[in-house]
Structure 1
């Protein structure tokens, strides 16, 4: 069973780090205001505004921000400012015993997927695939459902997603249960052959993507299929594939590509969850138990936190 972090309460202090790229200062300021408006105190990572090429500081600096937030007993949750590139560069340098001994809410998505999978593999700890502080909560206007999804960190209630809420559609019929794993397709694929390789056996696999043409999605799904990751999953949830359109013809659509591989895998599969690079952007706790039924078009997810 995965380790669940303790939920937040008003007055708690939370940390913000940038394991990938450096956030825009104005967007981060708005994101900080969002958190403060929910009754939280904020501590910024020392290197959150550092710039080193396309990274928010050197590998050592970004690693130090991650370690210091987990080490700091005052910090109750750690939120990533934005995604970008390069998160995987620090994965093999992390002190996973430090993380395991200090379980906290860890929240982000996109390039942060690699850390979610690494932490899951090394610590068996629930982490949250959710909107970024700068690039999502730091927008001029934030969708109300994106704001509402943040409330799950304050309680330990399960979430139920239905076709009435999200226009869920069945791809492959069936029902299944298992702990959630996955995230961004590109980052999932990049774990293959490493010590952080995604484990899908008996789990519900979630995938999302942005700005990849159908042929690139085809290549990645084919690699996951040949590696046995699709057919070993108990079920598959398809999130948002934002701007995944062909730049030339002839081409398959991304929907045709995804459907092809999910039918090859033959496991229950559903699409329509607004999770990923989309608006609204719903957060889900990776590592929590989930259940899905394509005939009822419903997805049930256990809480990712525990009460004090």
Structure 2
């Protein structure tokens, strides 16, 4: 794996919108926070473009991404928000460029497609964490969401246990492996493509928002049929919720779905992590080694920078 270099005070952080268009007012508040930390901020040239539900055309969004990676004065690239659109240009990403200019890359949700494709094509460690306009620009963002940004300043091992949130062990045991994954619907959308998620001997992280339990059931079943669940070493289940929960009498719960697909494989599986579309949003590096102890309900993650 390629570990990006840590950030130092005065470094320049590039901001891009590879998926949906950001709320520019909230983006300004978040970039002010980065400046307060001592960083310079460079916005992508197309940051304010809007093309329907996209932040500009595919060419414009890809151009911003390529420019930020090619500019060696930019030490980190952070996404303004998720939404939809990164898979539309994945087959035109210059992965050689990214491999030759490795740097911190940060985001989640639709950015999962970029995390997966970049890691598997280049070996670069990337970061699954809250984005600027959609999370860090919120005046009520929890302190923990901001504090975990400090893992970019020095090599820092992370530990997650029930001091942070109640956790449920769906299946016991301990497993070690590379931490991969992210948004469940984006992981499923990689199947059958050149960027299909590789789960062999990996710890698989999943999270999602706005998906009813039957939809989560459908996606996990697709991963099962593709043997992605059998191949994984263990499962880290982040936040799942919807603003329109189904009638309990006519639906399974999320936990019942997770137990069906992940609790019967004889591999450690733990749910309840504040990772994903939630507050606080516990940011983690992807592509690093981690250990999940389902019996003690603890997760350890190695540093993501050097």
The bucket for the TM-score relative to the shorter chain is over 0.9
Do the aligned partners of 1:163 and 1:169 also contact (CA within 8 Å) in 2? no
Whether 1:69 and 2:60 are equivalent positions in the alignment is no
CA contact (8 A) 1:109 1:129 kept: yes
How many Å separate the matches in 1 of 2:296 and 2:197?
Answer: 29
Determine the structure 2 residue equivalent to 1:257. 257
RMSD value, Cα: 1.1
CA displacement 1:70-107 (0-9 Å, x = unmatched): 00010000000000011110110000000001110000
Moved over 6 A (4+): none
Q: Deviations over 1:239-287 (max 9, x none)?
A: 0002276434511011111111002333110112100000000100000
Instruction: Summarize the alignment of residues 171-250 of structure 1 with structure 2, pairs less than 5 Å apart.
Output: 171-243=170-242, 246-248=245-247, 249-250=249-250
Deviation, 1:44, is 0.1
**Separation of aligned partners in 1, 2:244 and 2:286:** 28
Contact 2:76 2:105 (8 Å CA) reproduced:
yes
TM-score normalized by the length of structure 2: 0.98
Q: Which runs of 5+ in 1 are unaligned?
A: none
Question: Which residue in 2 is equivalent to 1:160?
Answer: 159
Secondary structure of 1:260's partner? helix
Aligned length: 305
Q: Which residue of 2 aligns with 1:3?
A: 2
What do the CA deviations read for 1:29-59 (whole angstroms, capped 9, x no partner)?
0110111121110000000110111100100
C-alpha separation in 1, matches of 2:89 and 2:265: 32
Distance 1:139 1:189 in 2: 29
Distance 1:172 1:37 in 2: 44
SS in 2 for 1:207: strand
TM-score of the superposed pair, with normalisation by structure 1: 0.97
Measure, in 2, the Cα distance between the counterparts of 1:32 and 1:220.
35
What SS class does the counterpart of residue 291 from structure 1 fall into?
Answer: strand
Q: After TM superposition, give the deviation of residue 141 of structure 1 in Å.
A: 1.7
Q: Which whole-Å deviations, capped at 9, do the CAs of 1:186-245 have from their partners, x for residues lacking one?
A: 000000000000000000000000000111100000000111111110110000002276
The 3-state SS of whatever aligns with 1:136 is helix
C-alpha separation between the residues in 2 aligned to 1:123 and 1:245? 39
Unaligned runs of 5+ in 2: none
Show the counterpart of 1:146: 145
The yes-or-no answer on 1:301 pairing with 2:301 is: yes
Determine the C-alpha separation between the residues in 2 that align with 1:275 and 1:253.
19
Question: 1:275 aligns to what?
Answer: 275
2:106–2:129 Cα contact (<8 Å) kept: yes
